[in-house]
């Protein structure tokens, strides 16, 4: 056998179908070449020790917004990708798939966006397209076929001028139906932002009249867009997509009601994949951080949080994505009514699941690997190259110290957001090193500067059926 480029020795890896397994991992040409018995002879140009560490497949974050400053639509300069992929590496994320937002046809900007991202990216990436115009809808077949981008977000709440904040036009359920039909015909998937905005308008008017200064903070915001607003849109999207024959990927499930609505359609035969986010697993309307926690959908009640954890443990929820937004803290100024929604989350993805999930709630490590790597890869069309520690797949790895206890401080934040909703929180479990295609992007807690510009665009194709 020819020598290997790298052998990682002495760790326990989370292997598909086997769970936690003591083994050595051999890498050649950026891919996993062999899973070796501990200490097995294997000539290599480099060996590193993972003694005392657990090796997870690198996390794949399939829900985030990569923008420029307060503009979340797209990266404009290489530094945008540099900062956010650095944050990703800290969180054990070795591939991410941001949502690309525009009012023009994506074919007019795609090459530029990919080029800018590749100039700064430390990790691999894809893109979803947010479909909002007739020209974009007409481009769906080409986006799937020629761009390797088969997943399409739609803001179900963009009605009555609601999309103007994002520079997008109004749409309706007829547009959702036509997008679902196009996805079904050409091998795509629909990813709705599920909120019935007409209901939210009525509630917002009532709540604002009762609390014009927003003194109720996160509870007030939740009251304007309560769980049934989310659940109604989830059941509507699932019904429409199922009727059209398209798979549905429900983003940022935040409430027990929305989860149950999706599960009813899944049990009835619809292809419904479910995602939640770390902030819905760890924060609720009682959080002391106040307006910093304004998000859409809103943070919910503690009971919703625990129901989502149970869904994650039981396998009802398929993935955890960060919905990372890297607007800086000034975007939260002006009180709950004026603050911009969204928060950063890339650099705490695996730490949250290890600390709050594995250690506190018994979430098995193979479930951590499934919801952060295996399922996102399979569902989003990356399973041919990523998502597991197995020969032939990219050597994307996160080496974690399960017993490391540490506290998140604002000074530690890498993202250009410059803050975290986890400041002051103590975690148990830390990403020590991360590798993308066998090259280090994080090594012994330190970011690797040489990784800048080495990330590559990955074309995706959804699994049949």
Say yes or no: 221 and 75 in one domain.
yes
DSSP string, 284-296: -TT-TTGGGG--S
CATH code of 123's domain: 3.20.20.140
Say yes or no: 268 and 161 in one domain.
yes
Q: Which of 351, 379, 407 is the last residue of a domain?
A: 379
Say yes or no: 349 and 369 in one domain.
yes
Q: Name the residue with tokens 């797949």.
A: 393
Dihedral sign of CA atoms 127, 131, 133, 136 in order? positive
d(CA 246, CA 143): 16
d(CA 100, CA 64): 10
Say yes or no: 63 and 206 in one domain.
yes
The torsion of the CA quartet 276, 277, 278, 283, rounded to 10 degrees, works out to -90
Say yes or no: 237 and 265 in one domain.
yes
Say yes or no: 152 and 178 in one domain.
yes
Q: Catalogue the E-assigned strands of 158-202.
A: 189-193
With respect to residue 388, please indicate whether it lies within any of the assigned structural domains: no
Domain that includes residue 375, residue range: 59-379
Q: What is the count of structural domains for the chain?
A: 2
Say yes or no: 48 and 69 in one domain.
no
CATH code of 419's domain: 2.30.40.10
With respect to residue 399, please indicate whether it lies within any of the assigned structural domains: yes
With respect to residue 278, please indicate whether it lies within any of the assigned structural domains: yes
Say yes or no: 51 and 78 in one domain.
no
Of 99, 72, 98, which Cα lies nearest the Cα of 85? 98
With respect to residue 462, please indicate whether it lies within any of the assigned structural domains: no
Q: Which of 379, 404, 428 is the last residue of a domain?
A: 379
With respect to residue 367, please indicate whether it lies within any of the assigned structural domains: yes
Reported as a single tens digit per residue, the pLDDT across 204-213 is 999 999 999 9
Calculate the alpha carbon distances from 59 to 35, 106, 144, 271, 416 in Å: 19, 27, 24, 23, 20
Reported as a single tens digit per residue, the pLDDT across 3-50 is 999 999 999 999 999 999 999 999 999 999 999 999 999 999 999 999
With respect to residue 87, please indicate whether it lies within any of the assigned structural domains: yes
Reported as a single tens digit per residue, the pLDDT across 80-136 is 999 999 999 999 999 999 999 999 999 999 999 999 999 999 999 999 999 999 999
Please determine, for residue 1, whether its predicted confidence score (pLDDT) is greater than 90: no
With respect to residue 460, please indicate whether it lies within any of the assigned structural domains: no
Say yes or no: 116 and 234 in one domain.
yes
Residues pairing with 193 in the sheet:
155
Q: Which residues, other chains included, contact 330 with Cβ-Cβ below 8 Å and sequence gap of 6+?
A: none
């Amino acid at each position: 056998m020819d020598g290997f480029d790298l052998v990682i020795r002495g760790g326990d890896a989370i292997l598909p179908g086997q769970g936690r397994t003591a083994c050595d991992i051999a890498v050649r040409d950026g891919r996993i070449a062999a899973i070796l018995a501990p200490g097995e002879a294997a000539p290599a140009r480099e060996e590193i020790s993972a003694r005392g560490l657990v090796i997870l497949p690198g996390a794949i974050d399939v829900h985030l917004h990569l923008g420029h400053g307060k503009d979340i639509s797209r990266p404009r300069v290489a530094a945008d990708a540099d900062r956010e992929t650095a944050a990703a590496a800290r969180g054990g994320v070795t591939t991410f798939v941001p949502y690309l937002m525009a009012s023009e046809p994506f074919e007019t900007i795609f090459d530029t966006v990919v080029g800018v991202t590749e100039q700064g990216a430390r990790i691999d990436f894809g893109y979803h397209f947010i479909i909002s115009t007739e020209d974009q809808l007409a481009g769906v077949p080409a986006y799937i076929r020629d761009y390797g981008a088969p997943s399409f977000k739609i803001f179900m709440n963009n009605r009555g001028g609601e999309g103007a904040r994002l520079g997008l036009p109004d749409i309706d359920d007829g547009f959702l139906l036509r997008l679902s039909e196009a996805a079904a015909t050409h091998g795509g998937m629909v990813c709705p932002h599920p909120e019935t905005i007409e209901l939210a308008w009525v509630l917002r008017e009532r709540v604002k009249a009762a609390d014009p200064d927003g003194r109720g903070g996160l509870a007030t915001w939740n009251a304007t867009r309560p769980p049934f607003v989310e659940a109604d849109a989830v059941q509507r999207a699932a019904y429409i997509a199922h009727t059209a024959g398209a798979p549905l990927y429900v983003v940022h499930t935040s409430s027990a009601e929305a989860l149950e609505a999706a599960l009813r359609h899944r049990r009835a035969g619809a292809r419904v994949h479910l995602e939640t986010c770390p902030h819905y697993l760890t924060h609720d309307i009682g959080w002391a951080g106040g307006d910093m926690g304004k998000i859409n959908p809103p943070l919910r009640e503690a009971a919703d949080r625990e129901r989502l954890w149970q869904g994650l443990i039981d396998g009802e929820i398929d993935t955890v994505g960060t919905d990372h937004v890297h607007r800086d803290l000034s975007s939260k100024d002006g009180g709950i009514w004026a603050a911009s929604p969204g928060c950063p989350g890339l650099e705490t993805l695996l730490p949250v699941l290890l600390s709050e999930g594995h250690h506190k709630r018994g979430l098995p490590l193979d479930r951590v690997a499934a919801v952060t790597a295996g399922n996102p890869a399979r569902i989003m069309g990356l399973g041919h190259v990523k998502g597991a520690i197995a020969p032939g797949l990219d050597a994307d790895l996160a080496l974690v110290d399960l017993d490391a206890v540490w506290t998140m401080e604002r000074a530690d934040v890498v993202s250009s957001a410059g803050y975290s909703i986890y400041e002051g929180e103590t975690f148990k479990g830390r990403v020590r090193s991360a590798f993308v295609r066998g090259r280090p992007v994080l090594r012994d807690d330190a970011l690797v500067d040489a990784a800048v510009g080495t990330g590559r665009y990955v074309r995706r194709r959804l699994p049949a059926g």
